[in-house]
Structure 1
Amino acid sequence: MWLLSALVPLLRLYLCGIRVLLYQMFNRSFEMPVLPKQNGRVAIVTGGTRGMGFETARRLASLGMHVIIAGNETEEGAAAVRRINEECSKGKAEFIFVDLTSLKSVRQFVQMFRDRGLPLHVLINNAGVMLVPERRTDDGFEFHFCLNYLSHFLLTNLLLDLLKESGRQGRSSRIVNMASATHYAGEVNLEDLNKRTVYSSHAAYSQSKLALVLFTYYLQEQLTAGGFAVTVNAVDPGMVDTALYDNLWTLARMMKKPVANILFRTPAEGASVSVYAAAASEMEGVGGCYLYNGRKTQSSDLSYDTELQAKLWKKSCKLVGLQGF
């Protein structure tokens, strides 16, 4: 029974990966439209020191944005900021430390950002990990669940009032959640979100990405009902050649290298869908979408379960110590 419980999510996840690779074999990465200038707008990008996060931060700064890179590697963050500021004459970047495996650190980050007195127009929840061995955070949460989803849930809610204040009709604030095709293989067990019964890194990763999509849809419903000029979308970058794959089994890593050279997207290509959601004129006022390769796409059937969305929201609020929406 244990073996079956671990094997099924593994097979589901790799089948998702094969489907994505087949798509990428026959379809080029979408071409980014001309984006409007973003002068005066402020963005936060989690995990913006490397990979897709760095490319996202760099592109937003090139449009004139003031970009806050949030990450836990101080030296890497300083190097990323230096590189972006050397390249971009209109926008600028700076680094603020946050450890997304710690809810306390998330709250400290939010306070540091608030102390700056800046508005907030774009929040890109990009940081993530994939297929790490079983591990708990200091708060007792399963690693994928906390870093990929729960900390971003808390971060978004703590910054939501600033996003509401900064948005206006015709110029909405935007939240972008980094999803993955693996969410199609995901299941959310509200009674065992930390995977204590049977641990599978594949199931844990898929669950964290499905949770982000469920969160996206529920939050947009609440924002729309409240009449707020804030949109939230989930984006799927496809399979991108980044350090996320460092935790694959040795054989899988060896097989990945030649395949990645041919079929994987580059970090810049993967970042394009986040930048599109964050800045494109076509996405003004558009929320509650799952975007893949620049197009609105149907996410998993389970992700549209409104009862599950509401239950996960309520459970997440309890876990991070927030009152309901």
Structure 2
Amino acid sequence: MSALSAARAALRVYAVGAAVVLAQLLRRCLGGFAEPVFPAQPERVAVVTGGTDGIGYATAKCLAKLGMHVIIAGNNDGKALEVVRKIKEETLNEKVEFLYCDLASMRSVRQFVQKFKMKNIPLHVLVNNAGVMMVPERSTEDGYEEHFGVNYLGHFLLTNLLLDTLKASGSPGRSARVVTVSSATHYVGELNLDDLQSRSGYSAHGAYAQSKLALVLFTYHLQALLAAAGSHVTANVADPGVVNTNLYRHVFWGTGLMKKIFGWWFSKTPEEGSWTSVYAAVSPALEGVGGRYLYNEKETKSLATTYDRKLQRQLWARSCQMTGSADVTQDASSG
């Protein structure tokens, strides 16, 4: 990718970010964000990736507050004990725990799933939340570009490995749910099936947007497979908006400075950013409903390309190859 192409990718990402910020600022001035009322979730089990920080932490805490057994899947084991202690203390829920899972390592993802399944418990909600944003060019343990490998492939593998448990845990009128966190940057993302690793030239902004676009395509195809199989599992996308977290440490210095000074004003708090994920995870209005893109707890349209079924299938097949997963298309469609 030429310097000009990289600059264009950056401008597109910052333009869509600015649009979201302006919308949030307007809403803040007109009364702000009102916390939704969520129903209690006793006897339900959730896995939240990236639950030690930011939106993931807020999501895990909110689900625990609703009475869920919450398993935080993360790679920050240094913070794990304190995070678990804090959530237990603030929610009065003792069913909160941490299991190590590094999404940059397929070996680690498989080990996490093995440890989870050894618990012999159901799984009603999987929140694919963890991610990296605009990091310098580097690779995962398996040799994949980090945005694509962590944000997308790690979650693709994790979801597929947990599908059997999710299917066994869902029931008529009480489906299990897969919630995948994307971003408005997917609207400016470009998916090149011949260069998913950005090897023709690296742009941190372009790679990030591509990973978020891939997550939407993945969710829609997953929902189609689940529906075809008659599974009591749904899959939806949650867009948290622009949230005041530590993910922005790699952005352009001017943007970072603006966020540092004014972020409290135009950004959502991690709690506000988590509400759409929690809504997708527990709202009765979404019972049996999948294949939706949700923003501010409401359904909206994603990029037109994301509804391209051929592209969805092609990405799915390529992802199975990259993760060493069996292509479940045939299994799912045959029930």
- Same fold at TM > 0.5: yes
Letter in 1 for 2:169: S
The TM-score with structure 1 as length reference comes to: 0.98
- Conserved 8 A contact 2:35-2:272: no
Q: 2:65 aligns with which of 59, 62, 67?
A: 62
**Pair 1:290-2:293 in alignment:** yes
Counterpart in the other structure of 1:73: 76
Counterpart in the other structure of 1:221: 224
Counterpart in the other structure of 1:167: 170
Letter in 1 for 2:50: G
Counterpart in the other structure of 1:106: 109
Question: Aligned-pair distance for 1:91?
Answer: 5.6
Letter in 2 for 1:232: A
Mean Cα deviation higher: 29-38 or 81-90: 29-38
- Conserved 8 A contact 1:81-1:93: yes
Over 6 Å off, 4+ runs: none
State the secondary structure of the residue aligned to 2:71: strand
- Conserved 8 A contact 2:131-2:151: yes
2-structure distance, mates of 1:135, 1:255: 27
2-structure distance, mates of 1:91, 1:215: 34
**Pair 1:262-2:272 in alignment:** no
State the secondary structure of the residue aligned to 2:191: coil
**Pair 1:237-2:243 in alignment:** no
Q: 1:125 aligns with which of 124, 128, 135?
A: 128
**Pair 1:6-2:6 in alignment:** yes
Counterpart in the other structure of 2:278: 275
Q: Deviations over 1:248-283 (max 9, x none)?
A: 122221122223121100000000111111011111
- Conserved 8 A contact 2:56-2:130: yes
Q: 1:304 to 1:91 in 2, by over 3 A?
A: farther
Question: Aligned-pair distance for 1:75?
Answer: 2.2
Mean Cα deviation higher: 304-313 or 255-264: 255-264
Question: Aligned-pair distance for 1:133?
Answer: 0.4
Q: 1:288 to 1:32 in 2, by over 3 A?
A: farther
Number of equivalenced pairs? 325
2-structure distance, mates of 1:118, 1:288: 26
Letter in 2 for 1:310: R
Q: 1:209 aligns with which of 207, 212, 215?
A: 212
- Conserved 8 A contact 1:52-1:271: yes
State the secondary structure of the residue aligned to 2:154: helix
Question: Aligned-pair distance for 1:8?
Answer: 1.6
Question: Aligned-pair distance for 1:31?
Answer: 3.3
User: Equivalent pairs: percent with the same residue?
Assistant: 55
1-structure distance, mates of 2:282, 2:77: 27
The TM-score with structure 2 as length reference comes to: 0.95
